[in-house]
A and B are shown apart, each in its own frame.
Chain A
Amino acid sequence: MSEEFAIETQDLTKRYDGVTVVDSLNLHIKESEVFGLLGPNGAGKTTTILMLLGLTEPASGTARVFGFNPTREPLKVKRLVGYLPEKVGFYDNLTARENLAFIAELNNINYAEANSRADEALEAVGLSKEADLTVGKFSRGMKQRLGIADVLIKKPKVVFLDEPTAGLDPKGINQLLDLVANLPKMGTTVVLSSHQLYQVQMVCHSIGILSKGKMVIEGSIDELGREALAGGRYIIQVETVQPTPQLINTIKGIKGVKKVEAKDNILQIGTDSDLRAAISKAVVQNDFPLIQMKVQEFSLDDIYMKYFREG
């Protein structure tokens, strides 16, 4: 096992009642990065996280979290990781601060330290004013933020966030994503499970897409975009009037152009790099009007959809 990965799994498999939920999963997550675990509902994201936490035992295969095996040494792993479950719950009869203090106590943090850490964590998630309200009065968004504070109070090296943005309003989502994006600066690795692709794309350095318990693809978003499109990194759309085969051939002759498809008045041009200048010049010089031109960059959505169309 190499030491450079914060989290590493080898053929991690889990079955529930004969159904394979996670199927020989090989996961590699680097230290201090935000890793997005994507996939449709029921793909095995939560189960994977539970196995990495040592809350669920794998049927076969091994997992390593900072070199510790979560099944064999659950306490050592749990000392290092923070977990925000999908449906996070608190003791409604206790205040936000009391809830945090209890978690701190379970982590053997002494009273004075726990108090200052609770203040810090509440400050970080913007709940300082509500610190002494009972959690029963909290809204969904506030609870979610308290959940983040709850994770931060133990100063974990890895944070597992399971659908952290579910049920939040747009403002809440932005605040939360800001928080998440700042975690790696403090040396914390983040594993984020979600199916909100846009949000994942905003904060994640690399992603892994799960489908039916299998890892479909894993890597950084840039790499995946390039992999996802066979025709090249860029697709440039050019709108003109009645393009002739001759024009198409001219464009094909430009260095770097891989593929040209004509559809009515629109040309889809696949290129290695941004060749808009050369293409527009070619169109205009051949006496065709250049009505519109745009570069289609591949977003996570496209990558995701592509793999699920294939799968």
Chain B
Amino acid sequence: MRAILRKELADYFTSIRFIILFVLILFASAAGLVAASQGIRGANLPEGFVFLGLFTTSGNVIPSLVTLIILLVPIIGIALGFDAINSERTSGTLSRILSQPVFRDSLINGKFLAGVVALSIMVGTMLLLVSGYGLSMIGVPPTAEEIIRLFIYLFLTIIFGAFWMGLAILFSVLLRRIAASLLISLALWLFFSIFILLVAPAIANALVPAADGSEAEIIRNIELRQMLMRFSPNTLFSEATTALLLPVTVGSLGLITQSQAAYMLPNPLSLGQSLLLIWPHITSLISLSAICFAISYLLFMKQEIRAT
């Protein structure tokens, strides 16, 4: 498997695709920095969480870095995985590789691992770049807690990317045509990041109409909508991001009425409490990526190499 991992990584780093993605990442990092430089002064961050503001404050027009990451990481994941297996199949290299004395799963494992490594390098670069430049920009060093939060965030981002890559690999196992696997992955991404914003309220309104405007119904409507939205890994990730990096504004991820909000203390959540809050999100994301990979693994192992 080491040979396959090495070759896949070498392929990634020399491919035009990787260079384009890297340029994209540089742009995103730069945009995130600009956004932070515009907005961080007015963000009124409490002491101890100023450094995280680099990642979460948005500028006048430019969205914050975390918003960009929510947008960008699925694309990177899809770009790394969408042709993993079917490109080998169409170019006729699959049967040649599989007739070598290697276990069949080492091919798909090697590809997945190489993708995770490439993904980690990209996300890591992005966070490090922004941290470095940001540090010299704002001059406030990160606290130990902020560093820990950032590392958890990095881990979570890689898991999130791995989910999308796993999904793309799944389609590349399932579909013979590269264009088809790319399109389906992109369509799902579009659905989970944009259409769900339209679909979830529609379903919620249909199931629990809040016509008479009673408080209980409105609450039920909003809670249902939130639950539906959480089917999207993007929502899970974005909520987890907020809890991790913006512990100031979040007391709970659920609904808070105005009367409740009046009693809330504007205290940042402790690290332990933040983690507790997003624990379901983390486990869901991990299990989602594991499920995606497991299905593609099984399908690939069962798929026959047939005479065309």
Contacts and interface: CB of A to CB of B under 8 A. Distances in A.
B260 interface: no
Nearest to A87: B92
B7 to A, nearest CB: 6
B305 to A, nearest CB: 4
Nearest to B16: A93
B96 A89 contact: yes
A96 interface: no
Nearest to A47: B307
Interface string A29-47: 0000000000000001111
Interface string A54-66: 0111000000000
Given A83-B95, A89-B93, A91-B11, A78 B307 contact: no
Given A87-B92, A107-B100, A102 B3 contact: yes
B14 interface: yes
Contact of A88 (B3, B96, B305, B308): B96
A90 interface: yes
A23 interface: no
B14 A93 contact: yes
A56 B91 CA distance: 19
A50 interface: yes
A46 B99 CA distance: 14
B100 A89 contact: no
Contact of B96 (A81, A107, A150): A150
Contacts of A53: 99
B4 interface: yes
Given A91-B93, A92-B91, A93-B14, A78 B306 contact: no
A202 interface: no
Interface residues of B, number: 24
B304 A56 contact: yes
B95 A78 contact: no
A150 B95 CA distance: 13
A45 B307 CA distance: 9
Contact of A83 (B4, B6, B15, B99): B99
A123 B161 CA distance: 45
A247 interface: no
A105 B7 CA distance: 10
A106 interface: yes
A79 interface: yes
A278 interface: no
Given A55-B95, A79-B101, A83-B96, A106 B3 contact: yes
A284 interface: no
A106 B103 CA distance: 10
A30 B38 CA distance: 79
A45 B103 CA distance: 25
A76 B103 CA distance: 11
A92 B15 CA distance: 12
B99 A55 contact: yes
A104 to B, nearest CB: 9
| Most A CB within 10 A of own CB, among B99, B101, B305 | B99
Nearest to A79: B101
B307 A50 contact: yes
A198 interface: no
A307 to B, nearest CB: 22
B3 A75 contact: no
A82 B99 CA distance: 7
A184 interface: no
B98 A55 contact: yes
Given A79-B101, A103-B100, A89 B91 contact: yes
A50 B306 contact: yes
B101 A89 contact: no
Contacts of A91: 11, 91, 93
Contacts of B305: 50, 55-56
A147 B96 CA distance: 9
Contacts of B7: 102, 105
A75 B103 CA distance: 7
B176 to A, nearest CB: 14
B307 A46 contact: yes
A47 to B, nearest CB: 5
Interface in A163-203: none
A91 B4 CA distance: 13
Contact of A106 (B11, B15, B97): B97
B102 interface: yes
Given A47-B307, A106-B100, 10 more contacts: A47-B306, A56-B305, A82-B99, A85-B92, A85-B96, A89-B93, A89-B96, A90-B93, A92-B91, A105-B6
14 contacts: A46-B308, A50-B95, A75-B103, A76-B101, A78-B102, A82-B99, A83-B96, A88-B96, A89-B91, A90-B91, A105-B3, A105-B7, A106-B4, A107-B100
Nearest 5 A/B pairs, CB to CB:
A89-B92, A46-B307, A83-B99, A105-B3, A89-B91
Interface of A: 16, 21, 44-47, 50, 53, 55-57, 75-76, 78-79, 81-83, 85-93, 102-103, 105-108, 147, 150, 154
Interface of B: 3-4, 6-7, 11, 14-15, 91-93, 95-103, 304-308
